[in-house]
Amino acid sequence: MTDRLLRGQFPRHAVRFAVCQTSSLCSEAARRHQADWIAGWLLSEALTCAALLSIDLKHTEKITLRWMYAGPVGDILADTTEDARVRGYTQRVRLLGEAGTLAEAVGTQGQVVAITSLPTKVVHTGVTQAVFQDVAHDMAHLLSLSFQVESAMTVGLIMPPDEPLHLRSAVGVLLQPMPDADLEIFESMRQQVERPDFRAWLEAEPRPLEAVLERVAGGAMYEVLGSAEPAFACSCTRPKVERVLRMLDPAELQDMLEKDGYVEVRCHFCAEAYHFGENEVHALLRQSASGHA
Ligand SMILES: [Zn+2]
């Protein structure tokens, strides 16, 4: 399925929505990080949440989401730009054997953090306890409490266990009431999308986004106001990595070079490996010695 994100509203209920299909971007992330089924599932949920939340962002704004679970998965991180360029990782990528279920991987405690930022400043930071042990519901809870944006969010995945992981479907739904919304109606829509049977329906077979909207609307009209193509995208570049290496203690670079004969830096977010041979490292050392940054 092609990755797609639709945003719009249910005019009668004064509720705005985002729905997305992110199976390609999640498959790409799982492949890059060599995640096993459990880590790949949790990462895909986080990336889909990030894609949905891109609709809340203004131009050049970014949101960074972090789930800090006490279970074996540890931290899960995802961020997105306003045009749904999404990236992320889990602290641990091989969890099978240590955790038998998603709930075990997440554990029973944790915290959730969300940070919106512009290129030069942090706009808002929110932190709450993880009370649901569910990636989407924990983040919706944080937005409702700390960002004062009532939010309902659900993610449904279809992901066969064979590696390399390939998702057949990754659907996310986000609902937020508009200022004139009837909060009782919003509450009933929230309950509907957060119910296990709605998720089971999303996970039974790939659903077109229009079918998802019809089911959420329950016969009411919906209006699509915009669309985007979410994609896995990282902002790391070789020049950026070189800048970081030039800031390291030259002795540390020299040590790495002597030990391995090269220096390799792997980006946390996208797992891209940047390889620097002996000559390149010497050039970097000369530049840092001359104060060139
Ligand atoms: Zn990267």
CATH (domain of 122): 3.55.30.10
Residue 21 confidence class, pLDDT cut points 50, 70, 90 = very high
- Say how many Å lie between the CA of residue 223 and the centre of ligand 1: 36
Q: Are residues 108 and 202 in the same domain?
A: yes
Q: What is the pLDDT of residue 290?
A: 65
Q: Are residues 223 and 245 both part of a single domain?
A: no
Indicate if the pLDDT at residue 103 is higher than 60: yes
CA 199 – ligand 1 centroid, Å: 31
CB 130 within 8 A of CB 67: yes
pLDDT digits (tens, 9 = 90+) for 69-93: 999 999 999 999 999 999 999 999 9
CA of 247 from ligand 1 middle (Å) equals 19
- Asked if 249 and 202 sit in the same domain, the reply is no
The arithmetic mean of pLDDT across residues 182-199, rounded, is 95
CA distance 52 to 172: 7
71 with 178, same domain?
yes
Using CA atoms, how far residue 245 sits from 82, 158, 239, 259, 265, in Å, is 30, 40, 10, 17, 9
Domain closes at, from 232, 249, 268: 232
**Cβ distance 139 to 67 under 8 Å?**
yes
Average pLDDT, the chain: 95
Mean local confidence (pLDDT), 111-117: 98
Q: Please report which confidence band the pLDDT of residue 186 belongs to, taking 50, 70 and 90 as the band edges.
A: very high
Question: Residue 289 pLDDT more than 80?
Answer: no
Query: Is 174 in contact with 151 (CB distance < 8 Å)?
Result: yes
Last residue of a domain, one of 198, 217, 232: 232
How far does residue 79's CA lie from ligand 1's centre (Å)?
12
Distance CA 202, CA 204 (A): 6
Of the residues 209, 232, 255, the one at which a domain ends: 232
Reply yes or no on whether the pLDDT at 291 is more than 60: no
Question: How far apart are alpha carbons 24 and 164 in whole angstroms?
Answer: 13
Whether residue 226 sits in one domain with residue 112: yes
Query: Ligand 1 centroid to 104 CA: how many Å?
Result: 29
Specify the residue for token string 């808002």.
124
- Cα 63 to Cα 139: distance, rounded to the nearest angstrom: 12
Give 59 Cα–ligand 1 centroid separation in angstroms: 21
How many residues are given for the chain?
293
Q: How does pLDDT run across 39-70, given as a tens digit for each residue?
A: 999 999 999 999 999 999 999 999 999 999 99
Does residue 208 share a domain with residue 243? no
pLDDT band at 218 (very low <50, low <70, confident <90, very high): confident
pLDDT computed for residue 292 by the predictor: 53
Instruction: Give the range of the structural domain holding residue 266, as residue numbers without chain letter.
Output: 238-289
How many domains is the chain built from? Answer: 2
For residue 286, pLDDT over 90 is answered with no
With both helix axes pointing from N to C terminus, report the angle between 278-289 and 238-247 in degrees, rounded to the nearest 10.
60
Answer yes or no: do 280 and 145 share one domain. no
Could you tell me if 183 and 60 lie in one domain?
A: yes
Instruction: Report the pLDDT averaged over residues 136-156.
Output: 95
Task: Give the Å distance between the CA of 73 and the centre of ligand 1.
Answer: 20
Q: Is the pLDDT of residue 288 over 80?
A: no
Shared domain for 157 and 264, answered yes or no, is no
Can you give the pTM of this predicted structure? 0.94
**What is the distance between the terminal CA atoms of the chain, rounded to a whole angstrom?**
44
Report the CATH number at residue 275: 3.90.1280.10
Residue 114 and residue 256 in one domain: no
Segments in the chain forming alpha helices (H): 23-33, 37-53, 102-106, 135-146, 183-194, 196-204, 209-217, 238-247, 250-260, 278-289
Q: Do 258 and 209 share a domain, yes or no?
A: no
How far does residue 233's CA lie from ligand 1's centre (Å)?
8
Cα(108) to centroid(ligand 1), Å: 31
Peptide bond into 161 cis (omega under 30): no
Give the Å distance between the CA of 268 and the centre of ligand 1: 6
Question: 15 alpha carbon to ligand 1 midpoint, in Å?
Answer: 35
Please report which confidence band the pLDDT of residue 272 belongs to, taking 50, 70 and 90 as the band edges. Answer: very high
From ligand 1's centre to the CA of 87, what distance in Å?
Answer: 8
- Say how many Å lie between the CA of residue 30 and the centre of ligand 1: 14
For residues 117 and 256, membership in a common domain is answered with no
Taking the centre of ligand 1 as the mean of its atom positions, its distance from the CA of residue 236, in whole angstroms, is: 4
The answer on pLDDT for 266 being more than 60 is: yes
